Amino acid sequence: MLPWLIACTPPEVPREDILLLTDLAAPMDECALPCVALSGPAGVDLSLAADDVLLDSGTISDDGTLALCPTPGVLSPGVTLTITQAEAVLHTGQPDIQPFGYAMGRQRAWGAPASLAWQEDWVLDPDPIFGPEPESWYHRAITSPQRAGDYLYFSGKATDDTPYLLGMVALEGESVVAPSSAPLLEPASGDWDAAGQVSPTLLFGPDGDALLLYQGLSETAAVPVLGRATSDDGLTWSRPEGSTYGDPSDNKISHPTALRDESGLIELWHLTDEGVFGLSLSEDDGYTFTPSCVSLPMRGKSPEVTWLVDRYVMTWATQSGDEAIVRWAESHDGVRWLEHSEPILWASDSSWTADDLSNAQLTWIDDAPRLLLVGVRNGQHRFGLARPPPEE
């Protein structure tokens, strides 16, 4: 047989009547990526790839449309999207991938910083600043401190058989004054926080109004929920019925810490049911939250997050062998983090933290940076401070 008689299949010629209805170069929220919409003759097979990695494929339907949908969280800056018919390229573009929350108005730079702004090993104060007091409603134990303005919010309990409830003390400099004489909230009429209220986190508005989010503990359910209460002055609180994130049967968060960004969104970092840290956002002042499609890489007891000019700082307690430590990381977008290679605190560095430590919140007292944390010794929980090492 002569060579020129050998049958071959010519490459398929792209159809000019297949139209792209989506701007491939438009900004895209990594967790709310719009589907790529196309129109054309029914029955044509198309595929969507990112830098030669197939994301989705499909056939134009009888109504002449097709949506190709990348999985949220799989695209990163600089990626090139390509739509092909067979092996022929129809359309290509480089989308502007933005961090989680862009579609809700959140404006953050992508990823982790190139280097850490702070790397000091912090120094624990020799003595705590606050502990359980005789004859008080928090006589048995205290936990979960959270500094907000001139107040320190916490959880306390009277006996081993009573639930943790939320309380508050005033701060003057580094000293605790005027402890609350009663809990801020009684347990809800339902079951969802009957076994305790822990991990308070507060957000203050421009007019002095305050939002309190906290973890509710149920007597019957295995997972916690997020409680919500409001106040005009940060002192007295009301809690609308049913104002919780999820319910004891399906909620997946615990140990919350919250910030409010410039657009008004509430950013909530928390533990997930997989034991890693997660980020969720609320557009309705804490009634409902949307979780990020990307899990954070860190694990620990309780994340504490602060915004510093151009970056987030996270501190959290975890274990190194048999000893509790505090770790440090920084991020631009709140999801991707650069972690300090070494712990910044060890439980054995102070007598009042000798057995354990947790809840290390970065705060400022008299314009000086401090870590507010829980230390444990001989089963007794106390609150204390750590500070950066003195400048040489």
Does the domain made of 123-387 have the CATH classification 3.40.50.300? no
Could you give the CA distance from residue 132 to residue 150 in angstroms, rounded to a whole number? 20
State the Cα–Cα distance between residues 308 and 5, nearest whole angstrom: 73
When pLDDT is cut at 50, 70 and 90, the band that residue 248 belongs to is very low
pLDDT exceeds cutoff 90 at 297: no
Average of pLDDT values for 253-272?
90
Q: What is the pLDDT of residue 135?
A: 86
Query: Looking at the predicted structure, is the pLDDT value of residue 302 above 50?
Result: yes
Q: Could you give the CA distance from residue 155 to residue 135 in angstroms, rounded to a whole number?
A: 16
Local structure of 217: helix, strand or coil:
strand
Q: Tell me which of 29-38, 231-240, 297-306 is least confident.
A: 231-240
CB 373 within 8 A of CB 358: yes
pLDDT digits (tens, 9 = 90+) for 110-136: 999 999 988 888 999 999 999 998 889
Q: Where in the chain is the domain with CATH 2.115.10.20?
A: 123-387
pLDDT tens digits along 357-381: 988 999 999 889 999 999 999 888 9
pLDDT at 241: 62
| CATH 2.60.40.10 domain residues, the chain | 12-98
Rounded to whole angstroms, the Cα distance separating 371 from 33 reads 38
* CA–CA separation, 343 and 139 (whole Å): 32
Least trusted range by pLDDT, from 26-30, 179-183, 283-287: 179-183
Domain 12-98, CATH homologous superfamily name and number: Immunoglobulins (2.60.40.10)
Which residues on neighbouring strands pair with residue 143, listed in sequence order? 155
Virtual torsion, Cα 23, 28, 262, 257, nearest 10 deg: 170
Contact status, residue 282 vs residue 259, Cβ threshold 8 Å? no
DSSP codes, 231-285: ESSSSS-B--TT-SBS-TTT---EEEEEEE-TTSPEEEEEE-TTSBEEEEEESST
- What is residue 190's predicted lDDT score, i.e. its pLDDT? 61
Between 34 and 390, the more confident residue is: 34
Select the more confidently predicted residue: 226 or 213: 213
What average pLDDT does the segment 332-358 reach?
92
Closest CA to 381 of 359, 361, 352: 352
pLDDT band, very low/low/confident/very high, at 233 (cuts 50, 70, 90): confident
- Contacts with 310 (C-beta within 8 Å, 6 or more apart), sequence order: 109, 332
Say how far apart CA 266 and CA 210 lie, in whole Å: 13
Q: How confident is the model at residue 48 (pLDDT cuts 50, 70, 90)?
A: very high
The residue that leads in pLDDT, 200 or 288, is 200
What's 125-178 look like in SS3?
Answer: CCCCCECCCCCCCCCCEEEEEEEECCEEEEEEECCCCCCEEEEEEEEECCEEEE
Going by pLDDT thresholds of 50, 70 and 90, the confidence category of residue 272 is confident
- Identify the pLDDT of residue 373: 94
Alpha-carbon gap, residue 75 to 55, rounded angstroms: 10
Q: What is the mean pLDDT of residues 257-273?
A: 90
